[in-house]
Amino acid sequence: MSMFATYPSLVDRTVFVSGGATGIGAAFVGHFAHQGSRVAFIDIDREHGEQLASELGDARHRPLFLPCDVTDLDALAASIAKARAALGPIGVLVNNAANDVRHAFGDTGAIEFDRSMAVNLRHQYFATQAVREDMQRLGGGSVICLGSTGWMKKNAGYPMYAMAKAAVRGLVNGLARELGRDRIRINALVPGWVITEKQQRLWLDADGEAEIARVQCLPGHLMADDLARAALFLAADDSRMCTGQDFIVDGGWV
């Protein structure tokens, strides 16, 4: 028997996740599928997307994987339309797709800047716009925008990513009242240093482990499942009066 919560309101609810093939996004897809939700997810990584959908084939509803690059807004809109046609009106949107690739302030130009905003921020705005009517027809819904504590900690090495993730705070504040009139909640789910396979491979060394032990209030690694469980709460009716907020899941990083 699981020690973690189940959410009856998520059974048969249609959930759309961007960047769902690997890492935190894959945890979102898996957890919503195991709650009985109808999940559609997009990613540029076709191999891992198809593999994940296959692995979750025994869920109440097999997830629908749609290959898509979120920087192509026409393709994003088409994917949302396909998900709606296949699974019904979208009641939960998880704006997860992002790329925290390191970059140097002095070496980046307008092309790199626009690309970073497109993959880390712009799609969150337009995906939310695309599901608004669905949520209005349903009588409410939940939009979960992925932020980051990286900009809050004043980390160096990714200024454009930090800027985009800081802007998620503004997006949530800017839409909470407007969407709230239709009982649509919008919140930022803000991860700390989540130890995904990518993070472990690229950046988690002995110094990283020492830093976690020194500055994280709770011992151990913050995992993608920890973020997914927070997303379940924000998607479910249990959070019906939560909107316009940062929900930080970082192990108490100080």
Contact (CB, 8 A) for 44 and 93: no
218 falls within a domain = no
Report the CATH number that the domain containing residue 169 is assigned in CATH: 3.40.50.720
126 falls within a domain = yes
56 falls within a domain = yes
37 vs 3, more confident: 37
**Length of the chain measured in residues:** 254
Mean pLDDT of 13-37: 98
Share of the chain above pLDDT 70, in %: 99
Query: How do residues 195-253 score in pLDDT, each as one tens digit?
Result: 888 877 876 788 888 889 999 999 999 999 999 999 999 999 999 999 999 999 999 99
Which candidate in 7, 125, 158, 161 is catalytic? 161
227 falls within a domain = yes
Question: CA–CA separation, 162 vs 208, rounded Å?
Answer: 20
Query: How do residues 144-173 score in pLDDT, each as one tens digit?
Result: 999 999 999 898 899 999 999 999 999 999
Residue 161 annotated among the catalytic residues of the structure = yes
pLDDT confidence of residue 125: 98
- The domain containing residue 175 runs over which residues? 11-194+223-239
Taking each helix axis from N to C end, the angle separating 159-180 and 123-138, rounded to the nearest 10 degrees, works out to: 20
Domain count, the chain: 1
CA distances (Å), 163 to each of 94, 167, 208, in order? 20, 6, 23
pLDDT confidence of residue 198: 82
147 falls within a domain = yes
178 falls within a domain = yes
Contacts of 166 (CB under 8 A, 6+ apart): 151
Q: Which of 199, 195, 120 is nearest to 165 (CA)?
A: 120
Cα angle value 199/92/171 (rounded, 5°): 70
Share of the chain above pLDDT 90, in %: 88
Query: How do residues 34-44 score in pLDDT, each as one tens digit?
Result: 999 999 999 99
Question: CA–CA separation, 106 vs 132, rounded Å?
Answer: 39
Query: How do residues 208-219 score in pLDDT, each as one tens digit?
Result: 888 899 999 999
Q: Which of 81-95, 98-112, 116-130 has the lowest mean pLDDT?
A: 98-112
On the CB side of 30, CA atoms within 13 Å amount to: 18
Sign of CA dihedral 20, 35, 199, 222: positive
pLDDT band (50, 70, 90) for residue 193? confident
pLDDT, mean over the chain? 95
Single pTM value for the model: 0.96
109 falls within a domain = yes
pLDDT band (50, 70, 90) for residue 1? low
Instruction: Evaluate if residue 90 carries a pLDDT over 90.
Output: yes
Contact (CB, 8 A) for 243 and 177: no
pLDDT confidence of residue 187: 98
164 falls within a domain = yes
